[in-house]
Every structure is written in C-alpha cells, then in structure tokens.
Structure 1
Amino acid sequence: MPGGTARVLTLSDARSLDPAMLFNAYASTAVLGNALYGTLLTDDPASGEVRYRMAESFTTSDNGTTFELKLRPGLVFSDGTPLDAAAVKYNWDRLKTVPGASAADASLVGSTEVIDPRTLRITLTAPIPKFAQIVVISSMNWIASPAALAAGQQAFDAHPIGAGPFTLERWTRQDAIELVKNPRYWDAPKPYLDRLTLRVALDGGQRLNTVVSGGADVAIESHWWNVSRAAEAGLRTNVMQLSGGVYVALNQRRAPFNDVRARQALAYASDLQALNLAAYNGAGQVADTLFSKQSTFYTDTPLTTPNRDTAQRLFDELAAAGKPVSFTLTVSPTADSKALAEGIQAQLSAFRNVSVQIDVVDHARSAALRTSHDFDAIFSGVFFVDPEPRLWNAFNGQSDANISGVNDEALNTDLQAARTATGEAERKALYAAVQQRLAELVPVIFLVRAAPSALAGKNVGGLVQYGNGSLLPEELWIRR
C-alpha cells in the first residue's frame, strides 16, 4: 500500500553522504546510498545475472576491454537537472581520486568518453568481461549531481543531490537520517513509502527486539542467530545465499604473518564449528569451503582442517626460531564480530607460544586500516554469487583491494585466467585450483558465510536485496 513511514535500523553510521564515502554492502551504508542515489544496475540474488535500472544497457563487444553504458531517457536528479552520461563520467572519474570504498574499483577504468547524452564509453586498464558486477557491488552504482559535489563536502552533506527514490530532509549525526519521497524518481509509482527514518543499532538483540515490539519496521541484519529468532517470531526475513564469507585477513606485509607457518598454525588451531556455536548459537553456516553448496563452482575441498597437534608444533617451531606468534585482531563493534573475536582468543589460549589482543574499532577506522594496511589481523570478507570480480579483487597480487597482501604467482595466474575465461567448465576448473591454493597459502581464514539479511514486521513487504546485501528502499511498503 502506498504511503507511510518506514523506520529502518542499520549497522553502520555514515561519515558523509558523498557516494564515494558510502559502502555498498549490508554491513555498512548500502540502503542509504540506494535511497539517495538509486541504482544503475542490480543483479538477481540467486543467479548473479545483471538487471538494468537507471542504465538501459551495459555491453562489451571485445570480451571486456571496452564497454558502453546506455542510460534510460529522461533521467533527472532531484533538483531537476539531467542525469546524463557526463554526470556518470564525472562521478566515475572522481571516484579514483577520493579515498573511499570504491577507489580501487574505479581505478580499473583507464578512460571514459561521452558519446552522446545517454551513452558513456569506458576503456578498462585490462579486460574484465564481468565488469558490470563491479558496478553492481560498488559505489560506482551511485551517481550524484556533479554541481552539488563540486560545492564541497560540507555543502553536499547538507544538501545531497541524487536521483534516488528519496531525498534528505534532516541528518542529525549520531541519531537519525530522515528522508522523504523524491517526486522526480524515474520509476513511478515507486517509492511506495512517503518517508524513511534510518537509525544505527549495533546491538543484535536490540535490533531484533525493536522490530518485534513494533519500535522499528525494518532491520538490516548480519547475525545468523537473529535471523533464526526472527523467523521463529513470525517476522518477514530476506537472506541472501552467498559464497565466500567473513574471514580474518592475515597481513603478510609484516610479522608474524609474513611467515606462512604462522598463518597455517592459526588455521589448524581454528575450530569453526565451535566458533559458530559461540557467536551464533550454532545457527550460522560455517565457511569450510570457498563456494556454497548452492554454487555451480562448489567443490568439497576444505579450506581449513582443525589439527591441534600440528598447530602446536608450528607455534613451538616459530618460538624456537625467535618468532613467537603475538598479534592484534582488529574487529568492528557489532556483537557477532566481537563474539567471533572472543571465540578465537579463547581457542588460542589453549596453545603455547601464541597470544592475541582484540582491538574494537568503528567501521570508519576499520576501513582506513584496510587501506593503510596498518594491522596484524582484521575481520573482513568476500561475498558473491559469481566469483568474478570479488575473488580477483581479494587475492590477486595486483589488486589494490587485496587486504592480506598475498602475492603468489600460481594464484595470480589462475585468478587472471578465470577472470577472462568464458566457458563454465574452464572457469570451474580454474576456481577449484584457486581454492586449493588458498588452502595452502592461508592469506585469510574463512569463518562463516555472511548473512546479508533484512528483517521486517509482519505488515511490511518488499524486502528486496541485490549485490552484497544491498536493500532497495523503493520496494518497501507497509500495510496500514
């Protein structure tokens, strides 16, 4: 039913409303970006097939070296100015220069050229046949008014101009972001709601209880136990089934994890089922393989196999060489992240010659550390339906988004071959080799599958996610 206000609980606060500073994933600011700026593309959450939104098409005729983006006719920003190819060019060129979530993605574009008001031609620095998937899961999907961005961050944060289903009415920092329906939104009669109010709720129990009690209508969720409890309570749930998962990235650029034995010891010491029980009451899905069983790329090769004796032998061997394993694990302030970290700390306390400290930081600080690489070990993740481009970004030695610093010739070769391969059988064989090499090198330790979820009251409908758990607010409706 049209009209009404949805009160939405999110997992992360925004530092700025600049799309370059927003993250297009469930655990950060995806719903805010979608609300203010709309989407060029989305994807089918089951197959990964690209779906067109403000873009009419995005095609390549040379297997991924050049692409042409064609916009829908008549697109305008909320102030009535045209959202045209020049605006997309401005945003994509600018993303390379702004330290943010998608600078590395935008840097894959070597050049952009406006062909006509609706058509932008881009040339990549190297062929990426599935480059559309990078747009789907990044801030490249969000286009803001060039004139508004040029006014500077302070002015833009006060009056952001996008072409999304909602516009900003008020932003009270550390409290609420209040949005109102954009009458110029291209996909009328959407949005169905008149207003959105976004508030951060880091505590998982608080999120769930607030929705159950009617204090909120929708909650973005990351906690498997909450998803299970919400279903039991009769709430509406939408959970994306993705491969990959949440992992501990082990920084190979410095000690102790520049020694493969330290990484292997940590993997052998990790009991994923016990961590799942500690953090999620056993409701999570353990990421013991790279691909989920629903994936066409699934193989049963384990990423880690617990072995306490081997773990202790490696810890002792490192200590005898003057390299005792002592490190800090950096985590975000969510309840499940802290529970996982405490579970890892408890497991390692049973071993000699290893110690770990936990450092809880906010999402902005965590993002900065991933960029500066100033960490020993840090929680991150890679989630996907189709492995390209996410696996290349995460583990190729030439990728700016490679958090762990792994740079292995065989792994690089297989990832690059898989990136450009077109046959599914060839891709499956290459990604099987990638999984085997990751198990040997241990650049990260996968813990659990991600739970990109949205929970809602019984009178709320239209829970639709895309990409890495990016909720589309224009689809929401409330039965009054």
Structure 2
Amino acid sequence: MIRHRRIVAVFAAACSAALVLGACGSGGDSGSENNSTAATVEAGEPVAGGTARILQMGEPRSLDPAALSNTWPHQPLLGNALYGTLMVTNNDTFELEYKMATDFSTEDGGKTFTLTLQPDLVFSDGTPLDAAAVKYNWDRLKDPTLGSTTIRQAVEVESTEVVDPLTMRVTMVEPNPQFGQALVAGALNWVASPAALEQGRESFDRNPIGAGPFTLVNWARQDAVELEKNPQYWDAPKPYLDSLTVRTVADANQRSNTMTTGGADLTAETSWTNVNKADAAGLQYVVTSTGGGQFAGMNQRRAPFDDERARRAVSLAVDLEAVNTVVYNGEGEVPTSFFPEDSPFYADIPLGETNVEEAQTLFDELAAEGKPVKFTFLSYPTTESRVLAEAIQAQLSAFENVEMNVEVTDFAAVTARAGARDFDMLISSAVTQDPDYALSMAFTADSTGNFMGVDNPELDAALERGRFGATQEERKAAYDEVQQILAESVVGLWYTRALPSVTFSEDTHGVQLFSLGSTLPEELWISN
C-alpha cells in the first residue's frame, strides 16, 4: 500500500508545475524517498494520434470559462483543453513559467503588473487573441451574476488597460506581489473569444471559441464532452492526441472500477483509497503535495456557528481519525498541523482535538441559553462528500442538544449557495503551497473567497505581514500567528490533507500537473 507517500508530479524530465510546498521528492511519512517518477512509465518520445478517455468529477453547468473551476475535483483539464493556459507555476521556486503569456511582472511591489502575450495568438475560429480579449475576460469575471468561483481572484484587480495588442497593464486594488500564484489557479488563466461570449450562454455552449489545444465536437450533458485537435493551436506540434472524450463520474468507486477495467485512460482523484487501488492494479499515478487541507467549514455569518462555542463544541465532539477510517479506509492524512513538517512554515500548533466531555458541556450550555446547535451539512454529490457528511452526523448523534442534517445536491447548486453564503456547513479548503494566496483568499475579512465569514483583525494583520515579509523568517513568524488564530477560532473540521491527483493507464504518458491538480492536455500522448 502507498499510504502517505508524498509524490510530486513530473514536469518534463524534472518537477511538475504544480504549486507545492518543498522540493521535488520531499519525503512523506516514509522518509525522504524520491517518488517523482516512481509511478510513471518511461516511454521515450511522444507519439502523435489517438483518443484519450478522461474522467472528471464535476459536470460543468456551462463551458463558459466563468462556469469552470481550475481545481482537481472540478473541470481543470476541460478548461485547459478548450482555452489553453497563460502561465503555470514551477513547484520548486514558485516562479511563473509562461505559455500563451511571455511575462507577468511587477516593478512596484505588486500594485501594478504588466502582462505580455505571445505574438500571433489566434482563437480556434482564426480571430486574434490579443490584450483586448484578455481584458474582456478578466473584467467580465468580476460580475457576480456569473457565479464564478474565480471572482475571488478577479475582484483583487482594480483595473486593466490595453497598452498594445500584446500588452495589458493590471492595477491591483491593493498591492499583492504574490498575485501570479492566484492567477494560475482559476479562470483568469483561460481566455475565450469575446465575440463568442457575447452571443450568450446557449450559443457559446454549442460552439465555445478558445485558443486551447482542443475544440468542441459535441457536448451531451450528463454523458460526454467530445473534443478534437485544434489545428490553430499556437504550440505545434502539440497537442499529440487527435481527440479527447471527457465524462463526468462523481462516484469514487465507479471511477476506480472504470480505470482498473480499462474503461478510461486518465481520471482525477481525491483520495488515497483510489490511488492505492490504481497502484495495485498496475496503473500510473501522480500526486501533488500540499499543505493546509480540506475542512468541513462552518458559516460564521449565521446561527449556530456565529457563536464560537458552537464551532468549538462540534470540533471537540468529532474524532477525525474515525472519520478518516470511514471516508478513506484510514488511508487519508488528517492534518494535525496546518503545514507539514517538511515545510519551511511548519509550526507545532495543533489544529484541533477531541474531548467529548467538554463538547457535551458546551452543547448543554448553548441549549440552556435557548441556542441548541442545529445545522445542515450541504454536500456535493460525490461519494467522498456524502460519506464525510454522514460520518460526522453519526458521531454527533451520540450527543444531546445537537442536531445535524445532510442535504446532498449537485455541484452547480453547491457552488451557487456557497457564493450566496446560504449554508451552515460545507466542504471548503485552504490548500497551501506558498501560503499567501490560499490563506488570504480563504480567511481575510474582505475576501470574496472567505466563505466562512471569518472576521478577525489580528488574523488580517498577520496575513498581511506574511504577504509582504522581506525575509523567510519574517514570513514564518507571521504565519505562525496565523496558524494559532485559525486553530483557536475554529473555522472548521480539518479532516484531510488535500490530494490533488490523477491516475492513468500504463499506455498514457506526458501527464503534467500545475496548480491544484490541473492537467495539461496538450502534453498527453498514448503509446501503441
């Protein structure tokens, strides 16, 4: 079994472009063994042709970039296929590596940036992809009616200005020298044709126009998205494949069974259980190492979790190792500290503890004040999300004066309600590589990504010191304080380290990840 091996994605012959903490081959629980190539097959030079059958976990509500999410449980490969990428990030240095862009730099500490594009970029219909097209897409993502998860990054931009066809000047609301880390993790990295978007969603979904390595042939909702090679793609001779067939499979067991029986060539994954199954079946896998993790977040904007005692009571009542056993067969990693021990930001600050007696005391205290703890867990339709909710519910049922219900709905509905802050508890994340983007986005009081409604001036100040620290020591001191505040205020139940990963067949090669498990489809190829 390969439990807890920390494996980093391979990028060409070296490291992946995933945003990860630490160096290539950093050790997990089993030591410093270099696993960067342990689960991949050496296959020589790429071979052109063929079709890859891809599984993703979330059905998109639209092919509009604003409706897609560039994280591993959603539609990152599909977005990259249709729209390409402006840039990615190197996991060793956190430096930007350019694709359709050639530069994204600041000379004033992150108040303004200059974005420069490759010359002669065109959309799949032959029209130019220029700075005006990028401006249109970036400005549009600020519109809250789109319901885009990327609004969290987009609203950090105060204005955009076209300097010339290849150059756009970006002015930030507040200086942020780390903004490139945020850019690559969302739809700001994808550019669609403004003219096509102006035709409306129905028209665009029939014929999405991007500049990615593939174009749409057909989208049968709840079935498959069929794509073919884009002859206009800027980075010829890529893509190597002739076509892709992308299907949505939310059920973890079904994904695993489909892969192990040869029904698909590559799937995104979320748990060690399925990665272990893939390994046992002789499949390949790539895992992006991260800090932070996923948590069952509590909405502090409304009862019952506007009272810190309610949050603390639930946290004390739930045994997360028992949850790990139920959800991941004990194969997940429950974060005991925010950063892993091999991180330069590690501090021995426990994220939580279990104390059933204290939990019951708090539940009783709140009930006596007329505030019994009653809430609903809003669950995604995936097996993991549903089983997690039910595992927490089962444990809480042993206590008095607390009632938890579970509501399972589709990805689009959960995303919309999260954006509207219409929930009590749901799965959220603060998955860290360089800490700034994930932590500031998730927990700064005025951040649109602050779904839990955290409002703590001391936390905001510590996050700002971490962003602008001139030395590693200054940044670490700031993030030590951040960890302490997050642990004491209880933002949620930190139930697992995130596992941005893919498993793939022995004949599939060129798997490269960036950001949170985002696969570059132009690099994929299949051997005979």
Q: Same fold (TM over 0.5)?
A: yes
1:308 maps to what in 2? 356
- CA apart distance, 1:47: 4.7
Matched, 1:30 2:73: no
1:386 maps to what in 2? 434
1:215 maps to what in 2? 263
Matched, 1:96 2:142: yes
Query: 3-state SS of the aligned residue for 1:357?
Result: strand
- CA apart distance, 1:356: 0.5
- CA apart distance, 1:294: 3.2
Partner Cα separation in structure 1 for residue 267 and residue 523 of structure 2: 15
1:56 maps to what in 2? 102
- CA apart distance, 1:259: 0.6
Q: 1:406 corresponds to which letter in structure 2?
A: V
Q: Does structure 2 conserve the Cα–Cα contact (< 8 Å) formed by 1:43 and 1:466?
A: yes
Query: 3-state SS of the aligned residue for 1:352?
Result: coil
Partner Cα separation in structure 2 for residue 163 and residue 236 of structure 1: 29
The number of residue pairs the alignment matches comes to: 480
Query: 3-state SS of the aligned residue for 2:168?
Result: strand
Matched, 1:18 2:64: yes
Q: 1:188 aligns with which of 236, 241, 246?
A: 236
Q: Does structure 2 conserve the Cα–Cα contact (< 8 Å) formed by 1:169 and 1:178?
A: yes
Matched, 1:43 2:89: yes
Partner Cα separation in structure 2 for residue 175 and residue 93 of structure 1: 32
Q: 1:247 aligns with which of 295, 313, 336?
A: 295
Partner Cα separation in structure 1 for residue 345 and residue 282 of structure 2: 34
Q: How does 1:71-82 map to 2 (within 5 A)?
A: 71-82=117-128
Q: Which runs of 5+ in 1 are unaligned?
A: none
2:222 maps to what in 1? 174
Q: How does 1:289-368 map to 2 (within 5 A)?
A: 289-368=337-416
Q: How does 1:125-164 map to 2 (within 5 A)?
A: 125-164=173-212
Change (3 A) 1:48 1:275: farther
Q: Does structure 2 conserve the Cα–Cα contact (< 8 Å) formed by 1:26 and 1:452?
A: yes
- CA apart distance, 1:223: 2.2
Q: Deviations over 1:419-460 (max 9, x none)?
A: 222321111111110010001111222110111111111111
Q: 1:17 corresponds to which letter in structure 2?
A: L
Poorly superposed stretches of 4+, deviation over 6 Å: none
2:167 maps to what in 1? 119
Q: 1:24 corresponds to which letter in structure 2?
A: N
Query: 3-state SS of the aligned residue for 1:91?
Result: helix
Q: 1:19 corresponds to which letter in structure 2?
A: P
1:400 maps to what in 2? 448
Partner Cα separation in structure 1 for residue 91 and residue 471 of structure 2: 22
Query: 3-state SS of the aligned residue for 1:205?
Result: helix
Q: 2:84 corresponds to which letter in structure 1?
A: G
- CA apart distance, 1:261: 0.4
Q: Taking every aligned residue pair, what percent have the same amino acid on both sides?
A: 51
Matched, 1:425 2:473: yes
Matched, 1:288 2:336: yes
Q: Deviations over 1:406-428 (max 9, x none)?
A: 10111111112212223211111
Say what the alpha-carbon RMSD is for the aligned residues: 1.1
Partner Cα separation in structure 1 for residue 454 and residue 149 of structure 2: 20
Partner Cα separation in structure 1 for residue 390 and residue 522 of structure 2: 38
Query: 3-state SS of the aligned residue for 1:210?
Result: helix
Q: Identify which range, 187-196 or 289-298, moves more after superposition.
A: 289-298
Q: 1:304 corresponds to which letter in structure 2?
A: G
1:198 maps to what in 2? 246
Partner Cα separation in structure 1 for residue 124 and residue 473 of structure 2: 46
Partner Cα separation in structure 1 for residue 386 and residue 506 of structure 2: 30
2:36 maps to what in 1? none
Query: 3-state SS of the aligned residue for 2:212?
Result: coil
Partner Cα separation in structure 2 for residue 45 and residue 356 of structure 1: 40
Q: 2:486 aligns with which of 418, 425, 438?
A: 438
Q: Does structure 2 conserve the Cα–Cα contact (< 8 Å) formed by 1:3 and 1:193?
A: yes
Matched, 1:263 2:311: yes
Query: 3-state SS of the aligned residue for 2:436?
Result: coil
- CA apart distance, 1:127: 0.4
1:8 maps to what in 2? 54
Q: 1:59 corresponds to which letter in structure 2?
A: S
Q: 1:55 corresponds to which letter in structure 2?
A: A
Q: Which runs of 5+ in 2 are unaligned?
A: 1-46
Q: 1:210 corresponds to which letter in structure 2?
A: T
Query: 3-state SS of the aligned residue for 2:148?
Result: coil
TM (norm. structure 2) is 0.89
TM (norm. structure 1) is 0.98
Matched, 1:237 2:289: no
Q: Deviations over 1:58-107 (max 9, x none)?
A: 00001100000011112111111111111111110111123311123111
Query: 3-state SS of the aligned residue for 1:454?
Result: strand
Partner Cα separation in structure 2 for residue 303 and residue 47 of structure 1: 27
1:465 maps to what in 2? 513
- CA apart distance, 1:279: 0.5
Q: Deviations over 1:378-431 (max 9, x none)?
A: 112121211111111100111111111010111111112212223211111111
Partner Cα separation in structure 1 for residue 337 and residue 95 of structure 2: 23
Query: 3-state SS of the aligned residue for 1:388?
Result: helix
Q: Identify which range, 331-340 or 287-296, moves more after superposition.
A: 287-296
Q: 1:175 corresponds to which letter in structure 2?
A: D
Q: Deviations over 1:89-138 (max 9, x none)?
A: 11101111233111231111111111111110010000011111111001
Q: 1:404 corresponds to which letter in structure 2?
A: M
Query: 3-state SS of the aligned residue for 2:303?
Result: coil
Query: 3-state SS of the aligned residue for 1:244?
Result: strand
Query: 3-state SS of the aligned residue for 1:137?
Result: coil
Q: Does structure 2 conserve the Cα–Cα contact (< 8 Å) formed by 1:329 and 1:377?
A: yes
Q: Identify which range, 409-418 or 117-126, moves more after superposition.
A: 409-418
Partner Cα separation in structure 1 for residue 436 and residue 231 of structure 2: 37
- CA apart distance, 1:42: 0.9
Q: Does structure 2 conserve the Cα–Cα contact (< 8 Å) formed by 1:288 and 1:447?
A: no
